[in-house]
Amino acid sequence: MSSVSDAESLVLSSDPLHPANLIPELCRGFYHLGWVTGTGGGICIREGSIVYIAPSGVQKERIKPTDMFVLPYPQPTEPSPHTDRVFLRRPKQELKESACTPLFWNAFDLRDAGSCIHTHSQHAVMATLLWAGKEFSISHQEMIKGVRIAGTGKALSYLDTLVVPIIENTPNEEDLKDSMAEAMKAYPEAAGVLVRRHGVYVWGNDWQKAKAQTECLDYLFEIGVKLKLANLL
Amino acid sequence: MSSVSDAESLVLSSDPLHPANLIPELCRGFYHLGWVTGTGGGICIREGSIVYIAPSGVQKERIKPTDMFVLPYPQPTEPSPHTDRVFLRRPKQELKESACTPLFWNAFDLRDAGSCIHTHSQHAVMATLLWAGKEFSISHQEMIKGVRIAGTGKALSYLDTLVVPIIENTPNEEDLKDSMAEAMKAYPEAAGVLVRRHGVYVWGNDWQKAKAQTECLDYLFEIGVKLKLANLL
Amino acid sequence: MSSVSDAESLVLSSDPLHPANLIPELCRGFYHLGWVTGTGGGICIREGSIVYIAPSGVQKERIKPTDMFVLPYPQPTEPSPHTDRVFLRRPKQELKESACTPLFWNAFDLRDAGSCIHTHSQHAVMATLLWAGKEFSISHQEMIKGVRIAGTGKALSYLDTLVVPIIENTPNEEDLKDSMAEAMKAYPEAAGVLVRRHGVYVWGNDWQKAKAQTECLDYLFEIGVKLKLANLL
Amino acid sequence: MSSVSDAESLVLSSDPLHPANLIPELCRGFYHLGWVTGTGGGICIREGSIVYIAPSGVQKERIKPTDMFVLPYPQPTEPSPHTDRVFLRRPKQELKESACTPLFWNAFDLRDAGSCIHTHSQHAVMATLLWAGKEFSISHQEMIKGVRIAGTGKALSYLDTLVVPIIENTPNEEDLKDSMAEAMKAYPEAAGVLVRRHGVYVWGNDWQKAKAQTECLDYLFEIGVKLKLANLL
């Protein structure tokens, strides 16, 4: 008989690259980038059929491995207003499931992503207000090469125009699920989805690629905003 | 006979979440956010009837647990020009009581807060100059959801307009006590009070919520300023 | 018989100033300056006839000494479309050689540099768009004194005008080699080369001087951009 | 016979608050504030008749206690073109004396300061260009209260106008000595001197006060620049 339950062993590891250890470390970094202040934003990592997600409404720079929710992918039954999500492990404290969960699921279902990051970066929010229509686009920037087609395909070229669809925000984060899914289908090459007055969702094959692409997109939102304000775009 | 006095034991703990340990750690973080440079700003934490406050006029990123003032709440007698505050513990060094103390007390008395944060953030100061009237307001920003009604109630909705009253600065910080209290009564749903050309006071049920709300409000001041300067607001 | 191969010993050292240890440390610093986010940018260090280069396409703030490529300088044969580069040591993982390698080589061949740094700093990119011609120039700034003539000569004076040529970006980073070399010949006193919509290459006699000059140039790009936007330049 | 010479013992201490330990720690902090990048800027601490100064032309975020120059105050003979400064201790490496030394000396001679800080902060430089005349001034900012009259006297009030004289830059930093001294005499209440297109010198009774005042002044330069650019000043 082991000293910790099977469920607990899902988040206990001495490997710093185990998702339960990585997510807190990455969130500390995101906090200092201004992506997840005020408990906003987050990251999930999927390793095959196991998904690790940080809880909602907590200080992202202070989460611990034992704060993680662990879910099976796919879910045994499609969650709906009538069925709850199934968890492999829930934290003991009265922590709430992330409201981002259904949106992260879009990245798994529609792009077979291994990780998805959600930020409230001000560069993303400013971009959704300076690009008033349904998409943000920018071209002729080296950092475009750091973004992959559909988020999980081959890298864009310097000659490509990067396009990120923008959806309208809703009072409840979960309600973004359908419009985000629609945008992902309407823009099958998009590596992320902007949410007006809110932030951005970015995914990749694994956490390294999701993180690198979030950095590239955030850089492009930031420089796009600077260029617009300087009348250079 | 114990080796440390009862008063000293109020600030000596091996628990990193003890207020005497937390306040120095949080102040280091606030320093790097530009909230408490030049010895300005600060934070207090109240646990039931015991209040912990960092001293005035010291480098906030270098304070130590033994620098803390500890006060009873409520005070045995209402402090006035003729009565001094009562302390459970004072630091040995010739440190001065925080000039913010009466303002922090407003948050306890009028909102039953468990923590109050004061910053000199430039975003707050710029907001008080771009919003020239008696209040800052912003709507349709996701980060509004991170702020609670009255600072201690339920969370605002994305559809709510966030309003923070602005009071005029005074030469002596203590003299803000009455106008801050008036603003808190005039704006019973406000989660903080801006002080023109000075900064902001934000409170919450506990330090976690006070800190998260300070981050959300600071984000909203910052993006509000950016939007005004870009003629988007 | 030693326990590690001769090739491996090239990157294993307990000296924190060994290039294989320094490059990861410096890259962590560059990441926090916004120079190498999204896996972009990098640094190489040459000690005599041995060159250390970080791999391509990895998170620069997380590289390890064992991720380094080590190359002989000069190469036994001039690399061309028909000959590959020779390595003294390659990392075991499936890491890719840096696309910056031929550009770093320009700094060795044309300036006898001991180190070259490539950043994607937004200050550099903004400078290439606000200076629309073939060069960035600025005068009467103290920080000009931190830059050396040709990158490896004596320091510029406060009375000198700093000039950095700007070349046009290409879809493949390697293809910048010839235009960068031409710019270095056309501007024999230049300490770096800007790449429009991409970033900057800066070199120096050793890593300390390359880093200090990159900081000075980045400062000058940043303040130049601010002055232009404020109509002060 | 001791194992280290008396001169060496001047920089060897296990006390983190010893000037030889403090200066490297403070310089690391200043580096991350953008005050001393590219080897620029610095700090000196005087304890009675002993002055500790970091060397010139080195990466300020990487200096070590053994890199310190230690000088007697006052100097046995007034340094001139014909007499060199006297040192109590010089670092063994071929490090150069700071070009700021004569300027730091102004703060000792004219204000009896215990510490002086020199930054190349872009906020200071921008302030010298947006305030085109002989002085920077700002009023009605809470942070003014963090600055002391003459740098070493009593604190300014919120109702006071803060004035910092601006002198013109010279090709050789040492040549600023006389114009800085003149400005300090012409503005006997000034807590610092700005150098156009260069940076600022700020002093205080001790390193804590010099640092706090440098932070306050830097904050005031930054917000002053923002207000000018927003047409609010």
- C164-192 pLDDT, tens per residue? 999 999 999 889 999 999 999 999 999 99
Q: What angle do CA A128, A130, A132 make, to 5 degrees?
A: 65
Q: Which of A19-28, D59-68, D70-79 has the lowest mean pLDDT?
A: D70-79
Residues of chain C predicted below pLDDT 70:
1-4, 81-82
Residues C166 and C136: beta-carbon distance below 8 Å: yes
Annotation says A61 is catalytic: no
Between B84 and A214, the higher pLDDT residue: A214
Measuring CA to CA, which residue among C78, C135, C128, C66 is closest to residue C102? C78
Distance CA B23, CA B44 (A): 8
Measuring CA to CA, which residue among D168, D79, D149 is closest to residue D111? D149
Residues of chain D in contact with residue C207, where contact means CB-CB under 8 angstroms, are none
Q: How far apart are the first and last CA of chain C?
A: 65
- Chain D residue with Cα closest to C217: D38
Task: Say which of D159, D219, D226 has its CB closest to residue B126.
Answer: D226
Are B38 and D140 a contacting pair at CB < 8 A? no
Mean pLDDT over B38-61 rounds to 95
Per-residue pLDDT at B6: 84
- Chain A residue with Cα closest to B217: A38
Would you say residue B228 has pLDDT above 70?
yes
Task: Identify residues of B whose CB sits under 8 angstroms from chain D CBs.
Answer: 34, 37-40, 58-59, 120, 122, 125-126, 129-130, 169-171, 195, 197-199, 229
- A143-154 pLDDT, tens per residue? 999 999 999 999
Residues D20 and D65: beta-carbon distance below 8 Å: yes
Distance CA A197, CA D212 (A): 37
Pick among 3.40.50.1820, 3.40.1050.10, 3.40.710.10, 3.40.225.10: CATH of B6-229: 3.40.225.10
- Chain D residue with Cα closest to B122: D223
Question: How close C233 comes to chain D (CA, Å)?
Answer: 10
Helix (H, G, I), strand (E, B) or coil at A77: coil
Question: How close A213 comes to chain C (CA, Å)?
Answer: 6
Are B223 and A125 a contacting pair at CB < 8 A? yes
Secondary structure (DSSP) of C30-63 = HHHTTSSGGG--EEEEEETTEEEEPPBSS-GGG-
Distance CA D41, CA D117 (A): 8
CA C137, C141, C145, C147 dihedral sign is negative
Residues of chain A in contact with residue C229, where contact means CB-CB under 8 angstroms, are 230
Helix (H, G, I), strand (E, B) or coil at D229: helix
Per-residue pLDDT at A212: 98
Question: How close B131 comes to chain A (CA, Å)?
Answer: 20
Helices marked H in chain B: 6-9, 19-32, 101-111, 122-130, 176-186, 207-229
Model confidence at A1, in pLDDT bands (50, 70, 90)?
very low
Are B197 and D140 a contacting pair at CB < 8 A? yes
Per-residue pLDDT at A154: 97
Would you say residue B41 has pLDDT above 50?
yes
Per-residue pLDDT at A3: 56
Are D143 and B129 a contacting pair at CB < 8 A? no
Mean pLDDT over A169-184 rounds to 95
Per-residue pLDDT at B3: 56
- A100-117 pLDDT, tens per residue? 999 999 999 999 999 999
Contacts of A141 (CB under 8 A, 6+ apart): A158, A162, A220, A223, C125, C197, C198
CATH 3.90.700.10 fits A1-98, yes or no: no
- B89-130 pLDDT, tens per residue? 999 878 999 999 999 999 999 999 999 999 999 999 999 999
Measuring CA to CA, which residue among B219, B180, B225 is closest to residue B203? B180
Would you say residue B62 has pLDDT above 90?
yes
Are B142 and A170 a contacting pair at CB < 8 A? no
Task: Say which of A59, A129, A198 has its CB closest to residue B208.
Answer: A59
Which of D26, D142, D154 is the best mutation test for B, with the most CBs of B within 10 A?
Answer: D142
Are B40 and D140 a contacting pair at CB < 8 A? no
Which of B120, B174, B227, B228 is the best mutation test for D, with the most CBs of D within 10 A?
Answer: B120
Residues of chain D in contact with residue C223, where contact means CB-CB under 8 angstroms, are 122, 125-126
Per-residue pLDDT at C93: 76
Residues of chain D in contact with residue B230, where contact means CB-CB under 8 angstroms, are none
Which 3-state string (H, E, C) describes A179-212? HHHHHHHHCCCCCEEEECCCEEEEEECCHHHHHH
Within its chain, how far is the Cα of C190 from the centroid?
14
Secondary structure (DSSP) of B185-225 = HHSTT-SEEEETTTEEEEEESSHHHHHHHHHHHHHHHHHHH
- D172-212 pLDDT, tens per residue? 988 999 999 999 999 999 999 999 999 999 999 999 999 99
- A72-103 pLDDT, tens per residue? 999 998 777 667 899 999 998 789 999 999 99
Model confidence at D1, in pLDDT bands (50, 70, 90)?
very low
Residues of chain B in contact with residue A120, where contact means CB-CB under 8 angstroms, are 142-143, 219
- D82-131 pLDDT, tens per residue? 678 999 999 987 899 999 999 999 999 999 999 999 999 999 999 999 99
Neighbours of D77 (CB within 10 A): 11
Percentage of residues of chain B with pLDDT beyond 70: 97
Question: How close C31 comes to chain A (CA, Å)?
Answer: 11
Instruction: Using CB atoms within 10 Å of the CB of residue D188, give its burial: 0 to 12 exposed, 13 to 18 middle, 19+ buried.
Output: exposed
Across chain B, what does the average pLDDT equal?
95
Model confidence at D18, in pLDDT bands (50, 70, 90)?
very high
CATH 3.20.20.100 fits A112-233, yes or no: no
Model confidence at D4, in pLDDT bands (50, 70, 90)?
low
Residues of chain D in contact with residue B169, where contact means CB-CB under 8 angstroms, are 140, 142, 158
Task: Say which of C40, C125, C130 has its CB closest to residue A146.
Answer: C40
Distance CA C95, CA C91 (A): 7
Per-residue pLDDT at B122: 98
The CATH 3.40.225.10 domain(s) of chain A lie at 1-98, 112-233
Per-residue pLDDT at C3: 55
- B166-194 pLDDT, tens per residue? 999 999 988 999 999 999 999 999 999 99
Question: How close B85 comes to chain A (CA, Å)?
Answer: 33
Query: What amino acid is encoded at D116 in this protein?
Result: C
Distance CA A146, CA D31 (A): 29
Per-residue pLDDT at C1: 42
Distance CA A108, CA B107 (A): 45
Mean pLDDT over D155-168 rounds to 98
| Residue D118 assigned to a binding site | yes
Per-residue pLDDT at B79: 73
